[in-house]
Amino acid sequence: MRDRLEALCRDGIAAVSEAKSADALQEVEIHLLGRNGALTALLKGLGKLSAAERPAAGKLANEVKQALQQAVEEGRCSLAQAELAQDLSGVGMDPTLPGSDLPSGGVHPVMAVARELEDLFSSMGYVVWDGPEIETEAHNFDDLNIPTDHPARESHDTIWMQDHGTSGRLCLRTHTSPVQIRALQKFGAPLRVIAPGRVFRQEAQDATHEHTFHQMEGLVVDKGIGVPHMLHAMNSMLEGVFGRQLETRLRPGFFPFVEPGFELDARCPFCKEGCKVCKGSTWIELMPGGLVHPHVLLSAGLDPQVYSGFAFGLGLSRMAMLRYGIHDIRWMMSGDLRFLEQFPA
């Protein structure tokens, strides 16, 4: 059996190399490997071998089959190449010359940081969620306990739509916080969610302020959630993105939808004495947060006596600035290829 298999392999490979056309090669393939081919015929003889001989013969038969299949595939490739060269011979073109590179897009620095954070928070059991960029006044303000006379609602901060929705005024969302309400209404509690996305404000632009920028909301609601849980999430995030503990400071901050509220600042990586990025303070305001206000839990139909939570609103565009050493936020939405090409895929 061994001799016959080895002979089939040798003669088969020789027959493949002699085939001068695709049709001829297919005939050889059928003759060798087809359902009624030479190899199948030999395999039928395996059953007649003793139990001791059978395993080795079976293994060899498999190897012969693979060697023949490979020879046929290689034969097919070289025939195709020869055919192509023949077709192109009159055209004066060398098909073996390397092609020219197709330009491929890169990943925008804000998206790169967003993806990293999505991976990081997903690994900690958070859902990644998003809401609409055109938002209702209720979701953007009312349900977040922002009073009707709050200056943020004024047209100098908020971009209002001319048309009203079926349930009141519509605006371009000024922050990702409305996704807190949407996610709680959709999933209920307990919940861990992050929501990266684009937000819009009527804003005078400078090195750290854009009218269109990215934030990432974080929200955890469960029983017994407190400030230490929030600090742990914020620090894990910074460590995940920068690979080390950043120098940070926490100070009181006011937001109507958290109580108590905080501001987390990171030490400016661009200077020691103050620069235009940190406006001379050596600190960059990065991420406010706090414990979810009972009014927000009630808006989402949850009992604040049972559930508590924390929320934070990361300035994602500013995080990308820190991460990649970008001195001016206005590069981010500029669409300038000289900037974008520095960030490969």
Binding site for ligand FA5 (CB under 6 A): 175, 177, 201, 203, 209-210, 213, 215, 255, 258, 261, 285-290, 311-313, 315, 317-318, 329
Nearer to ligand FA5, 29 or 121 (CB): 121
DSSP string, 112-130: HHHHHHHHHHHHTTPEE--
- What is the rounded distance in angstroms from the CA atom of residue 209 to the CA atom of residue 134? 21
Nearer to ligand FA5, 253 or 274 (CB): 253
- Nearest approach, Cβ of residue 118 and ligand FA5 (Å): 18
Nearer to ligand FA5, 240 or 253 (CB): 253
Alpha helices in 204-246 (DSSP H): 227-242
**Kind plus residue range of the DSSP H or E element containing 29:** helix 22-33
- Nearest approach, Cβ of residue 268 and ligand FA5 (Å): 13
- What is the rounded distance in angstroms from the CA atom of residue 33 to the CA atom of residue 47? 19
- Nearest approach, Cβ of residue 286 and ligand FA5 (Å): 5
Q: Name residue, tokens 């006044």.
A: 137
Residue number, nearest CB to ligand FA5: 315
- Nearest approach, Cβ of residue 303 and ligand FA5 (Å): 20
- Nearest approach, Cβ of residue 287 and ligand FA5 (Å): 6
**Side chain identity at residue 127, one-letter code:** V
CA distances from 264 to 65, 117, 319 (A): 66, 17, 12
Nearer to ligand FA5, 8 or 277 (CB): 277
Interstrand relation of 127-128 and 191-200 (parallel, antiparallel or unpaired): parallel
**Side chain identity at residue 34, one-letter code:** G
Nearer to ligand FA5, 90 or 228 (CB): 228
- Nearest approach, Cβ of residue 245 and ligand FA5 (Å): 19
Closest CA to 292 of 245, 200, 227: 227
Nearer to ligand FA5, 43 or 277 (CB): 277
324-327: list long-range contacts, CB under 8 Å, 24+ apart: 324/109, 325/269, 325/270, 326/109, 327/207, 327/270, 327/277
Q: Name residue, tokens 């048309």.
A: 163
- Nearest approach, Cβ of residue 227 and ligand FA5 (Å): 13
Nearer to ligand FA5, 192 or 318 (CB): 318
